[in-house]
Amino acid sequence: MAKYMLIMRATDDTLAKFQGIPFEEILDGMGRFNDELIRAGVLLAAEGLDDATNGVVVDFTGEEPVVTDGPYGETKELFGGYYILDVPTAEDAVAWVRRMPYTDGAKIEVRRVTQIDEFPQDNEWIRKERAWRESTGQL
């Protein structure tokens, strides 16, 4: 099995469409989808994110990091939440994404989450991280 992150992205149009849907209807659709993931045993994590106007960006393009209050960037650059699924292949992750109750224009990015075993095991920092993951029950 491998971990895949599903990153929910929106545009101004999709955000406007979501605003026209009653919140209970959104909760019902996502709740049914989440329940399917749970019953299938593939859901590891899922979280929505607060509005971008409540966030900040730390920009490292200059000599010193610059902190800017949100909103920031274009809507298409933001993501509103994520899922982490434990499925065998990217194709399996995509199959789950196809079942998501999203409106026209929404985009879901699917990315494999790298595992600690993929990094050089003789590296001091990898050994420390592995020990931490083992001590917290993550491995």
Q: What is the pLDDT of residues 93-112, one digit of tens each?
A: 999 999 988 766 778 889 99
- CA–CA separation, 20 vs 103, rounded Å? 11
Q: Is the pLDDT of residue 4 over 80?
A: yes
Could you tell me the pLDDT band of residue 74, with boundaries at 50, 70 and 90? low
pLDDT of residue 72: 62
CATH number at residue 81: 3.30.70.1060
Query: Tokens at residue 123, please?
Result: 């590296």
Please tell me the predicted confidence (pLDDT) of residue 106. 76
Q: Mean pLDDT score of the chain, rounded to an integer?
A: 86
Q: 130: helix, coil or strand? A: helix
Query: Tokens for 31?
Result: 């709740």
Domain count, the chain: 1
Across 74-96, average pLDDT: 86
Expressed as residue numbers, the domain containing 119 is 2-135
In this predicted structure, the answer to whether residue 10 has a pLDDT above a threshold of 80 is no
Q: Which two tokens stand for residue 19?
A: 């605003």
Helix or strand or coil: residue 82?
Answer: strand
Q: What is the pLDDT of residue 136?
A: 92
* Residue 5 pLDDT greater than 90, yes or no: yes
